Amino acid sequence: HICDGPDEVRKTVRTVLRAGADFIKLHATGGVLSPSDEPGSPQFTQEEIAIMVYEARMHGKTCMSHAQATEGIKNALRAGVESIEHGFYLDDEAIAIMKEQGSFLVPTLHAPRSVVLNAEASPESVLPQSLRKAHEVIEANARSFRAAHEAGVKVAMGTDCGVGTHGTNAWELELMVEHGMTPMEAIVATTKTAAECCHVDADVGTLEPGKLGDLIVVDGDPLADVTVLQQRERICMVMQGGEIAVDRIGG
């Protein structure tokens, strides 16, 4: 949905909520894949975002925001958005706001790297300006992630639509560890914190009595080498909702 101005954003959010949305996802800035804007370009004012947040809250829902550069990130945070997706260019003030408000950062470290890999595999599949932007944000993304993590910002693991191949999301844990997390911190970000970010932690995210019982069993120790989670042949069992969905152990 494209909308501009207070009245349009209010109507659009109400329309999406009536259609059954679980969350409101908005774009506070431009992006890497969008051809006609830049990550540093704010897309909505703080006032417009605050209206979206208000309408979502009136329906018991929350807002998360694609937000890549500093001004747009802070517009979203000050308006009450709970989760910042990407956060490539965080400054100290943005990190302080996130820490104070208990906001989540979903850094998607794999996303710009995946754009580069896609361009290498199939040059015609990625616009030149998107490839340029992907190269530009990779290091900033890593620096912002490290700074936010060291400051104690809540980090949730997430992926991005249209860039990483389905089933390769465990690469994100490797990148999180490469840039400052311990393997256990990356696993917690992927399970417990991600569930909290999505407001589904009453059912999933940890193994506790009364929860659904989603888990995997791997042949290896991800605390020693988190990349074991990327090796499909080493996934021995998958349990969903307390029921075994895949069993390669055979016992």
What is the set of active-site residues? 25, 160
Residue with tokens 């408000």: 101
Residue with tokens 């958005």: 81
Rg of the chain taking only CA atoms, in angstroms: 19
- Of the CA atoms within 13 Å of residue 53, those in its CB half-sphere come to 20
Contact status, residue 206 vs residue 191, Cβ threshold 8 Å: yes
Residues making up the chain, counted from first to last = 251
Query: What DSSP character marks residue 221?
Result: -
The whole-angstrom separation of Cα 86 and Cα 112 is 10
Q: HEC states along 6-34?
A: HHHHHHHHHHHHHCCCCCEEEECECCCCC
53 CA to centre of own chain: 18
Phi, psi angles (nearest 5°) of residue 134: -60, -45
Tell me the residue type at 5.
Answer: G
